[in-house]
Structure 1
Amino acid sequence: MAIKREKKEQHWDVGMNLLSEEKVQETKLLRVSHARMKLWALRAITTLLLWTCIVQLVAIGEVWGPRLLKSWPSCSSLPNMHTSTNVSSIQPKRHFPPKRVYKNNGYLIVSCNGGLNQMRAAICDMVSVSRYLNITLIVPELDKTSFWADPSDFQDIFDVDHFILSLRDEVRILKELPVKLQRRIELGMFYELPPILPLLKKHKVVHLNRTDARLANNGLPLEIQKLRCRVNFSALRFTAQIEELGRKVIRMLRQNGPFLVLHLRYEMDMLSFSGCTQGCNTEEVNELTAMRYANPWWKEKVIDPDLKRKDGLCPLTPEETALVKKETLLEPSELLFFRNHSSQMAALDYLVSLESDIFVPTYDGNMAKVVEGHRRHLGFKKTILLDRRVLIDLIDRYNSGSMSWDEFSYSVKDAHADRMGSPRKRVMIPDRPKEEDYFYANPQECL
């Protein structure tokens, strides 16, 4: 019995030992399983945290990207760096004023006439008229049929979206007339403000087929004068393509130091209508005269060119000036886009003239006047306003040998000492508005 009991106890001990080993094994397995679960949980939490960080970084990148991240080129953009524009040419996000809410009295359609800068001034006037009458302006049509024969539309020269959005706190501007009103277009002409408002309320749409000399130079409310300036200096921005090429020309000119822009208004239309034919042969004189007689709007037909020149009413000839043309700075391929688009070429001239160290117009045309006023707005940048009557006399005396170069040089400088575009008041002639100083040449209310 003792032996059996001993064997039984030994068997029990072995059974207990086996059971203990199984429990230990199970415990180890449970611990390993818990450890693995913790590891997977840790990985899941880490992954979640990483994705959260990535989302936050992307959000921060959208806000700070233009300042920190986006100023550096990506790897994919490196091969194209030589063809891309520089960082300074990237337009920052623009902030526009809130819309002005007002009762609309009708729609104004405008067909501008003349060259680019005559149309530019007219656009400023038409925005001011629209604001004054609480009406909606349709983006103006540009002249395509006159001497310049440029088929460009508004959006081909100006940034149309910037034009509309930057002025929306003053006036509502649409790219086209609402469809329901397109059949109700009425032709209208006005020279004073009072008669047009009843026409607008009656017909809803008025079309002005000419825009020259619509607003007076003086006697208008200050807020209207300031709005004319705002449109001219801020809202009328050229397209990115024109501005980029303008910057390129300016960079090339500045490589050699300060530069002067000479606006030589020696063109067929000006020579024909002014009668200034100095430097032209007989065939050219006959062609210019025929062009003047063929124009029914030009009343002065018989003109004495020599008398005009002595009175200082003619543009200087190429022989009387020295100049560097943009054609000598740019490749023909770069100017290909502007071929047969004289208004776009005039926009390029405008940009370069605005940025020059000195601007010298040889004739008082629309471009000369508008650039002069814009340069005044930019801090009275030096603009030499030639006294052509004095200058022509000095040139003739020098050419005849009666005056030395030193005498000629001193006399020219002395005659223009106070004609450098410094601050002054506009000359007002109430009974002769076309003879008084032009508003856009000296917008004193905005300076």
Structure 2
Amino acid sequence: MEHFLMQHPSYSRLWAPVRHFESLHPLANRSGDYAAPEMQPTGFIFVKIRGGFHEIRNAISDVVVVARLLNVTLVIPEIQSTTSSKGISTQFKSFPYLYNEDQFIAALAKDVKIVKTLPKDLKGARRKKEIPSFKVPHGASPYFYLHHVLPMLTKHSVVELLVHSGGCLQSILPPPLVEYQKLRCRVAFHALRFREEVQNLAIKILNRIRASGQPFIAYDPGMTRDALAYYGCAELFQDVHTELIMHRRAWMIKRGILKGNLSSDSAEQYRNGLCPLMPEEVPCILQFNIKSSHKFLHY
């Protein structure tokens, strides 16, 4: 059976070499009339980002766009991971612990002025909590930044943004801001690179997996706190943080994000196909699809 599956056209299509992307038009390219950042920005934005890996990456892309929108200098964001209780190093709050800091600054030099730290006088003001602070709502509009944040920034020369749960700017910007949408792509796919040690470790892992000569899948089950809270599947995957997940589910219900009861039957949700796949289920589904395809062609 295994030999048959490897010879089947569906198998070949699934594991065929990936086509080159050079022919695709990269959305991240700047337009011809795209201007460089102004030499005299209006102030500084200092950002604290809290969340998991996906939320951190999305938030970084957004804060770069916000800095460009407001014509301010962006201080390298401070990462406050919610994963500290899982044994991850406390150094994780440092941006360069995860990403290549110099690459990030250089890649965006034509878009936003970025510095590693605040000037000394503003550092002192921050320690004394004299800097205006904003808890940014998820998916905030450009209007929020232009009419609420910018006036305080102009007055104090610096503001602090507290970003939770991912994106701090609406996901789809209006057509006049298409260049800002492109900037998001440049941040995500060009500026944000893992530091060298992380990349080297990833290469070692890939080489070891590829050494077998067999195809493989890198699978992200999406078992974030938000996903488990939204679908009510927490009990299937973990029990240590169930209380935190239930708190998140209550928050979603209160804000109308989720319609349903606070308590849910995880087993029932699983039977209805509403929970993330377990890693061991993915190859089973792929194998089933190939067999089903053969059965369909046979009949």
TM-score, normalising length from structure 1?
0.46
Q: Specify which of 196, 199, 202 is matched with residue 152 of structure 2.
A: 199
Residue 166 in structure 1 maps to residue 127 in structure 2: no
> Of 125, 129, 138, which aligns to 2:62?
125
- Counterpart-to-counterpart distance in 1, 2:199 and 2:44: 31
Q: For residue 199 of structure 1, report the CA deviation from its aligned partner.
A: 1.3
- The equivalent residue for 1:188 is 134
Give matches, 1:173-322, under 5 Å: 173-182=114-123, 183=125, 184-190=130-136, 191=140, 192-194=144-146, 195-211=148-164, 212-220=166-174, 221-255=177-211, 256-266=213-223, 271=228, 274-276=231-233, 289-294=242-247, 297-299=251-253, 301-318=262-279, 320-322=281-283
Q: CA deviation at 1:133?
A: 1.0
**CA shift at 1:274, angstroms?**
3.5
Contact 2:37 2:71 (8 Å CA) reproduced: no
Task: After TM superposition, list the pairs within 5 Å mapping 1:69-80 onto structure 2.
Answer: none
- Identical aligned pairs, as a percentage? 32
Does 2:47 correspond to 1:110? yes
Q: How do 1:301-380 and structure 2 match up within 5 A?
A: 301-318=262-279, 320-322=281-283
Shift of 1:301: 2.3
Please tell me the root mean square deviation across aligned C-alpha atoms, in Å: 3.4
| C-alpha deviation, 1:246, in angstroms | 1.1
Whole-angstrom CA distance in 1 between matches of 2:51 and 2:293: 37
The 3-state SS of whatever aligns with 2:51 is: coil
SS, match of residue 143 in structure 1: strand
Per-residue CA deviations over 1:250-282 (Å, capped at 9, x if unaligned) read 2222221543222234577754664215757xx
**3-state SS in 2 of match to 1:137:** strand
Q: For residues 154-179 of structure 1, what are the alpha-carbon distances to aligned partners after superposition, in whole Å with 9 as ceiling and x for unaligned?
A: 10111101111221111111111111
TM superposition shift of 1:317? 2.9
> Helix, strand or coil: the match of 2:182?
helix
Equivalent residues of 2:51, 2:80 under 8 A apart: yes
Q: Distance in 2 between matches of 1:267 and 1:185?
A: 32
1:131 alignment partner, SS class: helix
1:159 is aligned with what amino acid? N
Partners of 2:279 and 2:48 lie apart in 1 by: 34
RCO higher in structure (CA 8 A, sep ≥6): 2
Cα distance, 1:118 vs structure 2 = 1.1
In 2, are the aligned partners of 1:109 and 1:205 still within 8 Å (CA)? yes
Measured after TM superposition, the shift of residue 292 of structure 1 is 3.1
C-alpha separation in 2, matches of 1:189 and 1:413: 56
Match of 2:292 among 399, 410, 422: 410
- Distance in 1 (CA, whole Å) between partners of 2:134 and 2:100 is 28
CA deviation string 1:40-87 (max 9, x = no partner): xxxxxxxxxxxxxxxxxxxxxxxxxxxxxxxxxxxxxxxxxxxxxxxx
CA contact (8 A) 1:272 1:292 kept: yes
CA distance in 2, matches of 1:185, 1:172: 20
Residue identity matched to 2:44: Y
3-state SS, counterpart of residue 177 of structure 1: coil
SS of alignment partner, residue 79 of structure 2: coil
How far 1:217 moved relative to its partner? 2.1
Task: Give the distance between the partners of 2:132 and 2:295, measured in 1 at CA.
Answer: 55
**Residue of structure 2 equivalent to 1:13:** none
Report which stretch shifted further, 169-178 or 179-188: 179-188
Aligned to 1:138: 75
CA deviations over 1:187-224 (Å, ceiling 9, x no partner): 11343232211111012111111243322222331110
Distance 1:297 1:133 in 2: 31
- Amino acid of the residue matched to residue 113 of structure 2? R
Q: Deviations over 1:310-343 (max 9, x none)?
A: 55331123553459xxxxxxxxxxxxxxxxxxxx
Query: Given residue 193 of structure 1, which amino acid in structure 2 is its aligned partner?
Result: Y
Q: Residue type matched to 2:195 in 1?
A: T
Contact 1:273 1:292 (8 Å CA) reproduced? no
SS at match of 1:260: coil
SS of equivalent to 2:270: helix
Structure 2 gaps of 5+ residues are 1-35, 254-260
